[in-house]
Amino acid sequence: MSGFTEQTLSFFNASPGEYKCIFTSGATAALKLVGETFPWSSQSTFMYTMENHNSVLGIREYSLKEGAAAIAVDIDGRHGGKSAVKIIPHTVQRRGEIGCRKKEQTSDTYNLFAFPSECNFSGLRFDLGLVNVMKEDSYEMPGPTLSHSGRWMVLIDAAKGSATSPPDLSKYKADFVVVSFYKLFGYPTGIGALIARNGAAKLLKKTYFSGASGTVAASIADVDFYKRRDGIEEYFEDGTLAFVSIASLRHGFRILNALTMSAIYRHTMSLALYIRKALLNLRHVNGSRVCTLYGINDPELLCNEMGPTVSFNLKRPDGSWFGHREVEKLASLSNIQLRTGCFCNPGACAKHLGLSHSELLSNIEAGHVCWDDRDILNGKPTGSVRVSFGYMSTFEDARKLLKFIKSSFVSLPPQHSISDLLGEKPVPASTEGVERVTRTYFLKSITVYPIKSCAGFTVESWPLCSTGLLHDREWLLKSLSGEILTQKKVPEMGFITTLVDLKLGRLIVESLRCKEKLQIELTSGQCIAEREVMEIYSQRYEVQGYGSEVDTWFSTAVGRPCTLVRSYAFQNHMCSNKNRSMGPCRDLEARLNFVNEAQFLLISEESIADLNNRLRSKLHKGSNEQHIEVDPSRFRPNLVVSGGKPYAEDGWSRLKIGQTNFTSLGGCNRCQMINMAFTAGTVQRSNEPLATLASYRRLKGKIYFGVLLKMCDSIKQEAWLHAGQEIVAYAV
């Protein structure tokens, strides 16, 4: 095992006589160890660069708790040269009383300066000469300077940088260096190290033995590195680290040594350079730049100052930003995994994205919701897209990424684009200011989904009521904790088949998991539970549950305890989307059952046919996916229409089916749910058809297919829809 210590030390060119290697569960644990055991005093200062991982920022807590000062800084003069390095301080942070800190610093005062060898947000590399600058006190710091008389200890967070360029500790004698092995080899997670200079390690020990406070002694007990500082075996015997992991570490070092770090460095840097140059050169058809790169202002510096990490955001031709989550999701549909966000580096994030303190805070408060992420706030991106190259990356990876960005985000000369059809510019139809009337459409089929997220049934004719199709989405399943069950969380729901028999007055449900069908009377007093009020998607419903027989049946069918509830009355219109922009509900006036957005979803057969053509031609272009043919049911529509041109429905403002008038509420935004296929009792997932739709039906981060409708008229008795009815569509 000690061979492993030596391997680690030699990786950093650290002499075993001068440095110790303490194994931890990761870089974060190593940083915590330093924070907990550093000899802080009220005269100490913890100074750290703005660009730092949260794990480094965590040290601040320990320093402040011991009465020390903490200060974030920017470093000027990274590019070497003769002039002294300038350190630009932010506000000094302190906790508690000032009085007791009037004492001068003494030679026993220890200060800590922490910086990353490579910023994990932007890839910016810090000059390791900073180590010597700090230790020799040869820096300039304007403003309310901190006393220089104590000793500066320097910590390098090499977790990111070591993968391609480990600090050379024979040249830059940092006191502490932290590393995580999975960042070097790609595996295994859960092992890292603190490399500490002997003198510095002794300081930590002293704190440990003096037992400065109970918490320090207690929390360090589980590392106990003093007793085992050389006996790595004992540490492993704790069972903390699996032997498999250790074996793989040896294997990891063997790979790096065989490739050599200098070759890894050149390889990854050339990939990053290729990507940076290509991204900087991307232009929209109007000539505007597509990509903003972070951490680099001067293209001359492209190769020297930046590691193999490329951090960027993309803009539309009009200068607005593509959200980073949108980029990430589209990439994953193309089987490219990107990391986006702030990467646990709030300082760098704020600095490069130009976010203020309050904006950072409000971003945190806004939270993140699936497919509705706030990746843009007040017109500014709240994170970035990051590409990191390692020894395993290939030129093919880089090229695939570029191809994806070009095809998904760079605007080409105008063709027939989705924005012409949806909302943005109305279809140029009415030359004389008269509404165009088209009569080539027919109602093909009608589908009712009585229970939210369960299968629906298709009928030739069906009555309408004030909520839409009679009994559509009138029931739902909720968990015992009150959470609404949906297919997203419980795909099994898609296998529950439903049928409403109006003559018998029954809802009939079937499941492969239940021997018997379940029949629920529509009118009788089978509902026995108390009526209660439920809030769903910020709307209020009066609902009623059933007895245990019904609930047991559904619990068996979905494989988890749940209860069935029926909507009786839609209480009021809480759907105040103007104030709560999060709510998905689009239809602000109509009465609704348990639908997400609107009373009806309409899909066109012609649009489906066009989509299937595209899916087919993608297959011919040699993608290795299996061919997928979708039918309308994939989109869970209520109404399928036929006739006309594909996507003509996008341009409709109103339509009339038989005697009933409908208003279009606009396109339906699609998510991964349409990638699930329910066949023969199993759910199959793929990237299609969403990936293909994303390539031509995307507008402002949303992917549209089908349109949402509501009825215009209040429903008189006996209004029915019939398959085969003619549809008259009006385009504004």
Active-site residues, by number, are 344
53 forms part of the interface with ligand PLP (CB under 6 A): yes
| Among residues 180, 340, 599, 638, the one that binds ligand PLP under rule CB under 6 A | 180
407 φ, ψ (degrees, to nearest 5): -75, -25
State the nearest-atom distance from the C-beta of 199 to ligand PLP, in Å: 24
The site for ligand PLP, by CB under 6 A, has a size of 13
Choice between 109 and 162, CB closer to ligand PLP = 162
Instruction: Compute how many other C-beta atoms are within 10 angstroms of the C-beta atom of residue 370.
Output: 10
Q: Which residue has the tokens 């053509």?
A: 613
The region of 157-165, 240-248, 353-361, 544-552 touching ligand PLP under the rule CB under 6 A is 157-165
| Among residues 55, 63, 248, 607, the one that binds ligand PLP under rule CB under 6 A | 55
Q: What stretch of H or E contains 570?
A: strand 562-570
Choice between 161 and 450, CB closer to ligand PLP = 161
Q: Which residues contact 415 (CB under 8 A, 6 or more apart)?
A: none
Measured between alpha carbons, how far is 667 from 604 in angstroms, rounded to an integer?
A: 12
160 forms part of the interface with ligand PLP (CB under 6 A): yes
Measured between alpha carbons, how far is 621 from 259 in angstroms, rounded to an integer?
A: 36
Measured between alpha carbons, how far is 585 from 208 in angstroms, rounded to an integer?
A: 58
27 forms part of the interface with ligand PLP (CB under 6 A): yes
Indicate the residue type of 100: C
Choice between 55 and 165, CB closer to ligand PLP = 55
51 forms part of the interface with ligand PLP (CB under 6 A): no
* Contact between 601 and 639 (Cβ < 8 Å): yes
State the nearest-atom distance from the C-beta of 186 to ligand PLP, in Å: 13
Choice between 52 and 511, CB closer to ligand PLP = 52
383 forms part of the interface with ligand PLP (CB under 6 A): no
Tell me whether strands 85-93 and 139-140 are parallel, antiparallel or unpaired.
parallel
Site string for ligand PLP, 693-732 (x = CB under 6 A): ----------------------------------------
Tell me whether strands 110-116 and 45-49 are parallel, antiparallel or unpaired.
parallel
66 forms part of the interface with ligand PLP (CB under 6 A): no
120 forms part of the interface with ligand PLP (CB under 6 A): yes
* Contact between 686 and 625 (Cβ < 8 Å): yes
* Contact between 448 and 471 (Cβ < 8 Å): yes
State the nearest-atom distance from the C-beta of 37 to ligand PLP, in Å: 17
* Contact between 289 and 406 (Cβ < 8 Å): no
159 forms part of the interface with ligand PLP (CB under 6 A): yes
Q: What stretch of H or E contains 440?
A: strand 436-448
Both tokens of 53, joined, read: 């991982």
Q: What stretch of H or E contains 603?
A: strand 600-604
Measured between alpha carbons, how far is 411 from 316 in angstroms, rounded to an integer?
A: 8
State the nearest-atom distance from the C-beta of 158 to ligand PLP, in Å: 8
26 forms part of the interface with ligand PLP (CB under 6 A): yes
| Among residues 39, 77, 116, 456, the one that binds ligand PLP under rule CB under 6 A | 116
| Among residues 11, 12, 20, 28, the one that binds ligand PLP under rule CB under 6 A | 28
The region of 95-103, 153-161, 201-209, 280-288 touching ligand PLP under the rule CB under 6 A is 153-161
Which residues contribute to the site for ligand PLP (CB under 6 A)? 26-28, 53, 55, 116, 120, 157, 159-160, 180, 183, 192
